[in-house]
Amino acid sequence: ENQVEHSPHFLGPQQGDVASMSCTYSVSRFNNLQWYRQNTGMGPKHLLSMYSAGYEKQKGRLNATLLKNGSSLYITAVQPEDSATYFCAVDFSGTYKYIFGTGTRLKVLA
């Protein structure tokens, strides 16, 4: 069964800290991994795309690494507006069908 797990489930860093979260996956076929963030009451918004083990991507204060069966996401100098739920999603089909994890809920303390 395809599945994605997140760690930790909840993160509460102080403003200015580095927030670190990760996901691990077990899928029948790996095509790519995406990171999304979701604010309450809204649809997920795409952050980063990852393609193969060892792949690293930086975008602003976001930094992600793709490992053999997972991915890590770091957010540097977190701000209150970074508070959201962060999901990774794995394409297990090669046809844009994604399985999402349960996410890491980030709440930045001012």
Partner 1 sequence: SAVISQKPSRDICQRGTSLTIQCQVDSQVTMMFWYRQQPGQSLTLIATANQGSEATYESGFVIDKFPISRPNLTFSTLTVSNMSPEDSSIYLCSVEPLAGSSYEQYFGPGTRLTVT
Name the residues that contact partner 1, by CB under 8 A. Answer: 4, 32, 34, 41-46, 49, 87, 89, 91, 95-103
To partner 1, the closest distance from the beta carbon of 85 in angstroms equals 9
Nearer to partner 1, 39 or 79 (CB): 39
Nearer to partner 1, 17 or 100 (CB): 100
To partner 1, the closest distance from the beta carbon of 16 in angstroms equals 28
Instruction: Give the count of beta carbons closer than 10 Å to the beta carbon of residue 85.
Output: 19
Nearer to partner 1, 59 or 77 (CB): 59
Distance of alpha carbon 32 from alpha carbon 93, whole angstroms: 10
Beta-bridged to residue 73, according to DSSP, are: 21, 64
Q: Please report how many Cα atoms fall inside a 13 Å half-sphere around the Cα of residue 110, on the Cβ side.
A: 2
Nearer to partner 1, 17 or 65 (CB): 65
Burial of 94 (0-12, 13-18, 19+ CB in 10 A): exposed
To partner 1, the closest distance from the beta carbon of 10 in angstroms equals 11
